[in-house]
Structure 1
Amino acid sequence: MPLSANLLLVATALCCFATVFALPMPGMNRDNQCRCLTTTDTYMNPRSFKKIEIIPVGPSCRNIEIIITLKDRNKVVCVNPKAAWVQQIISKVM
Structure 2
Amino acid sequence: MNFRTVSIFVLLAFITLTAGVSVEPRCRCSGVESRRVGKMIERVELFPPNPHCTHTEIIATLKGSGQQICLDTKAPWVMKVIEKIMANHSP
Superposed counterparts of 1:57-76, under 5 Å: 57-76=49-68
2:26 partner letter: Q
1:48 — aligned with what? Answer: 40
TM-score under structure 2 length normalisation:
0.66
Shift of 1:93: 1.3
Shift of 1:50: 1.5
Task: Give a deviation string over 1:1-43, Cα, whole Å, max 9, x none.
Answer: xxxxxxxxxxxxx8xx88xx78xxxxxx971110000011111
1:51 partner letter: R
Larger Rg: 1
Kindly, what percent of the aligned residue pairs are identical?
31
Question: Gaps (5+ residues) in structure 1?
Answer: 1-13, 23-28
2:76 — aligned with what? Answer: 84
Q: How many residues align?
A: 70
Shift of 1:83: 0.6
Higher helix content, 1 or 2: 1
**Aligned-residue CA RMSD (Å):** 2.3
TM-score under structure 1 length normalisation:
0.64
Question: Gaps (5+ residues) in structure 2?
Answer: 1-6, 16-21, 87-91
